[in-house]
Structure 1
Amino acid sequence: MRHRFAVQLAALVLVAGSLFAIQPAAAATNTVVTLTFDDGQASHAAIVPTLQSRGMRGTFYINSALVGSSAYYLTWPQIHTIADAGNEIGGHTLNHVNLTSVSRANATAQVCNDRSNLIAQGFPAPASFAYPEADYNSTAKQVVQGCGYSSARTVGDIRGPDCDDCDYAESIPPQDAFALRGPDSAESSTTLATMQKYVTQAETHGGGWVVLSFHGICSNSCTGDSSFSPTTFAAFLDWLKAREGSGTVVKTVGEVMGGGGPAPASPPVTTIKCNGAACTTAWYLSSSVAVDLTATDADGSAIASIRYTTDGSNPVTSATAVTYTGPFALTSTKTVKYYSTDVDGHVEATKSQQIRVDGVAPAVTFTSPANNSTYQRSATVPLVATSTDTGGSGVAKVVFKDGTTTLKTDTSSPYNYNWSSTKSVGVHTVTATATDVAGNVTSVPLTINIIR
């Protein structure tokens, strides 16, 4: 009897042990793996089939101002192909700018304008963002949220070679949606075993969210030390695919976070005026044009600042940018670029206005004949003049006149007229009048004596 009880007890212990042994597999039903790819790196185009063949999708963070700028980056058609395959397109700033190293206005322009560019390409309003260089602070978090994102990924604070006492995974929902934690980014030295461990450590400690980040997926060091082997990448995906049966699944950041973020508040709108009226591209016949900038905000927020340049450079990043304090004068042709920021950190997309100013009259000189020359009435008098314009608009025409009688209007250099008729005996004052495109006028007289 005791023997049978012992057998039953042993069986019970064995069952309990078995239940304990499968606990990690049960916990794996709470494990989500996300594959994220930074910088819009060109090698990402080749991994789309790798993901598709395994029924997986990733989140691709794009620097929109760098798209197609060199062979290092994806082109817009390639990014559209990635999106068409069901992958998520997220933001990463315009130029991969570390948000902790620039002003709030600059950071906001980098984040908001990047998001606007992605929307303009026809992608769903991006909800997911990644901090360049994984660096952020409280201001960066506020900027990202203010631009309409619902999450922002960093790297670190998850257990790995560099942190043996960190959490085993990000929580769902995350501890901080604007500082999503993840293991160290995959590098050339990262092994398949290390990638697998990031997942299994989550599975065996209650599950959670494993947010993995990659740069180049290539065998030619396309992103230096941050390149990851395509062979190892494919093997890792195969290993992940096999874990679906125990409940470990692959989702994009947006799928985990539940989609889009809040609609961004309206940025301010700046209006430019020239001499009190709307600026035009026509030439201003003036020695000085007064330029006025006025900003308004549809949301009622106060305007924090208006910034501008007059040398054509980007006022968001240029060292020559000036904070607008009142009307300024332009005495020559300039391209004014400007934008405004409200107190909530919303930044207007940079605008541009060329203002063409020419208040300088053209120079005109007779080169033939000499002043006070004498000609017979029957002779041909060769009138030749030169004209230049330093005001910028260029010489439009030179008109030759005998008194009030127009002899010729010449619109191209050399300006000349062979005066061979309609001459009368006596002293003639001939003028050459130059007019530039802006409308500035200069006349020069020439005395000619006509005899029988």
Structure 2
Amino acid sequence: MFGTGLVRGWLLAAATLLGVASTAVAIVGPLAPPAEAATGTSVSLTFDDGQASQYATLPLLSSRGMKGTYYINSALVGSSDYYMTWAQIHDIAGGGNEIGGHTLHHTDLTSVSSTTAHTEACDDRSNLIGQGFTPVASFAYPYAAVDGTAEQVIRDCGYSSGRGVGGVVSGNVCNGCPYAESIPPVDPYWLQTPEPAVSSTTLSQLQGYVTNAETHGGGWIVLVFHGICSNSCTGSNSLNPATFTSFLDWLQPRAANGTVVRTVGEVVTGTPPPPPGPDTTPPVTTASCDGAACTGWLRTSPVQVALSATDAGGSGFAATVYTVDGTDPTVSSSALAYTAPFPVTRTTTVRFSSRDNAGNVEQARSQQVLIDAAAPTVAITAPVDGSTVRRNSTVPVTATSTDTGTGSGAASGVAQVVFSLDGATPLATVTSAPYQFSWKVRANLQGSHVLTATATDTAGNTTSTQVRVNIAR
């Protein structure tokens, strides 16, 4: 799948070792004169396919002062929940990130006719420009399939670069290849990268791609991501969000020493990285509940609350404090130092603040943790248990339901009561009190039947009650 990039990397490495002139490897595309040795390291975070989970990377990058390059298949946008919508892609672009092309339908340009290849690549770029994105100058080859013909197609469409996959030393893969793409690149239409991030990729591997470049003269590390999720949203190409977030946290402070994050377009056009300056930006702390966002009602108790701080200013995170009694943790004597997730057993407002190594203190922030671990009550008041009703009659059915939750003020409230017959046949769903409906008894029913009412509260707790009804002619 990624063999073409690896072959090109091996050939370039061999040419360097043997002192062969650049024309000796011209079989893989035209080569420009080699660039001068880089004095720093640039890292580009690139995301393929416009996959839906990538939308969650927007705040992760933004809070750290980073920007990425997102390669979009414009004909697939919003076509299913696998892909981002145009609104989400506009949000990403609005955050200063680069939008690039990836063909209309994720088409292998090396396996189709020249006419189809031009349509797929050029119309994709036209669609993106038509959405208002500019300049749409960067392209990624689907399936990392690239040859001289595909390169020419990308030039013809007006792109300034084309990203492949492979050709850079990646652990034990591509030994003898360069440790980074050069700045400027030897061939901007066949950019070289480490191996793409997959489900087995570790934090240390991502870090190693960067440190290898740093310790071998610098250069450009173009990292390739697909899904950022823990549910295999893009199959084996999915990277765990925790690994991705930890990598960003590790990468951010390296800007002070010359390792900077830039989009593909910025590197290709020579846009200089921003100079490091004093850190005057306080950290930003977020809370999570049982590993997910603390949104809505939770029905487990206790809930494990975790706090995570990021520091866009670059000096690095120092400490986080918190309270669970409503007081301001920056001044309260009851403030606790955060060291690990802590349990919350009832509805609580957690307040927290972080400090960075430059002494900037975050204004105290709050997160309400809503817990309702108790099911509501429900009772059928009509018809009464054991009553007899007749076929073809209309029978009033009424239930009462209340939700007291767990602890003071921790009731999420009854969301609905669902009535069913014999545990299978749905009769009615009632979403507000009084929980009642008129049951039209079918003509083919007879004998003894069970009428069930199932109440569900907003937190998702459920409980059921039953009465037995005899149906006569």
> What is the TM-score of this pair, normalised by structure 2?
0.49
Matched, 1:55 2:26: no
Number of aligned residue pairs: 234
**Contact 2:38/2:183 (<8 A) preserved:** no
2:162 to 131, 152, 155: 152
Matched, 1:241 2:248: no
Q: Which residue of 1 aligns with 2:214?
A: 203
Q: Report matched runs for 1:180-329 at 5 Å.
A: 180-258=191-269
Instruction: Return the offset for 1:28.
Output: 8.8
Question: Which sections of structure 1, spanning at least 5 residues, go unmatched?
Answer: 1-26, 261-452
Matched, 1:125 2:135: yes
Matched, 1:70 2:44: no
Aligned counterparts of 1:194 and 1:43: Cα–Cα separation in 2:
22
Matched, 1:87 2:101: no
**Contact 1:36/1:58 (<8 A) preserved:** yes
Matched, 1:37 2:13: no
Q: Which residue of 1 aligns with 2:30?
A: none
Aligned counterparts of 1:90 and 1:217: Cα–Cα separation in 2:
19
Instruction: Return the offset for 1:91.
Output: 0.1
Deviation sequence 1:358-406 (CA, Å, 0-9, x none): xxxxxxxxxxxxxxxxxxxxxxxxxxxxxxxxxxxxxxxxxxxxxxxxx
Q: Report matched runs for 1:358-397 at 5 Å.
A: none
Q: Structure 1 runs of 4+ off > 2 angstroms?
A: none
Aligned counterparts of 2:38 and 2:241: Cα–Cα separation in 1:
26
Deviation sequence 1:24-75 (CA, Å, 0-9, x none): xxx9951000000000000011110000010000000000000000000010
Aligned counterparts of 2:205 and 2:81: Cα–Cα separation in 1:
31
Deviation sequence 1:385-432 (CA, Å, 0-9, x none): xxxxxxxxxxxxxxxxxxxxxxxxxxxxxxxxxxxxxxxxxxxxxxxx
2:107 to 94, 97, 109: 97
**Contact 1:63/1:114 (<8 A) preserved:** yes
> Match for 1:194: what amino acid?
Q
Aligned counterparts of 1:33 and 1:125: Cα–Cα separation in 2:
20
Instruction: Return the offset for 1:175.
Output: 1.2
**Contact 2:39/2:219 (<8 A) preserved:** no
Instruction: Return the offset for 1:125.
Output: 2.8
Deviation sequence 1:280-303 (CA, Å, 0-9, x none): xxxxxxxxxxxxxxxxxxxxxxxx
Aligned counterparts of 1:100 and 1:170: Cα–Cα separation in 2:
23
**Contact 1:68/1:75 (<8 A) preserved:** yes
Aligned counterparts of 2:190 and 2:49: Cα–Cα separation in 1:
18
Q: Report matched runs for 1:326-341 at 5 Å.
A: none
Deviation sequence 1:288-322 (CA, Å, 0-9, x none): xxxxxxxxxxxxxxxxxxxxxxxxxxxxxxxxxxx
Deviation sequence 1:182-206 (CA, Å, 0-9, x none): 0010000000000000000000000
> Match for 1:55: what amino acid?
G
2:152 to 139, 142, 155: 142
**Contact 1:141/1:178 (<8 A) preserved:** yes
Instruction: Return the offset for 1:163.
Output: 1.1
Q: 1:93 aligns to what SS in structure 2?
A: coil
Aligned counterparts of 2:130 and 2:60: Cα–Cα separation in 1:
28
> Match for 1:225: what amino acid?
S
Cα 1:118–1:103, aligned 2, differ >3 Å: closer, same or farther? same
Q: 2:159 aligns to what SS in structure 1?
A: coil
Q: 1:125 aligns to what SS in structure 2?
A: coil
Aligned counterparts of 2:135 and 2:41: Cα–Cα separation in 1:
27
Q: Report matched runs for 1:395-410 at 5 Å.
A: none
Instruction: Return the offset for 1:259.
Output: 7.8
Cα 1:60–1:51, aligned 2, differ >3 Å: closer, same or farther? same
**Contact 1:28/1:204 (<8 A) preserved:** no
Instruction: Return the offset for 1:213.
Output: 0.5
**Contact 1:28/1:203 (<8 A) preserved:** no
Matched, 1:166 2:177: yes
Aligned counterparts of 2:173 and 2:215: Cα–Cα separation in 1:
20
> Match for 1:137: what amino acid?
D
Aligned counterparts of 1:140 and 1:230: Cα–Cα separation in 2:
33
Bigger radius of gyration among the two: 1
Aligned counterparts of 2:216 and 2:121: Cα–Cα separation in 1:
36
Q: 1:190 aligns to what SS in structure 2?
A: coil
**Contact 1:34/1:210 (<8 A) preserved:** yes
Cα 1:47–1:126, aligned 2, differ >3 Å: closer, same or farther? same
Q: 2:166 aligns to what SS in structure 1?
A: coil
Computed over aligned residues only, the root mean square deviation of the Cα atoms, in angstroms, reads 1.4
**Contact 1:64/1:114 (<8 A) preserved:** yes
Aligned counterparts of 2:253 and 2:266: Cα–Cα separation in 1:
21
Q: 1:249 aligns to what SS in structure 2?
A: strand
> Match for 1:238: what amino acid?
D
Deviation sequence 1:124-146 (CA, Å, 0-9, x none): 13100000001111110000000
**Contact 1:127/1:259 (<8 A) preserved:** no
**Contact 2:38/2:182 (<8 A) preserved:** no
Instruction: Return the offset for 1:105.
Output: 0.5
**Contact 2:125/2:136 (<8 A) preserved:** yes
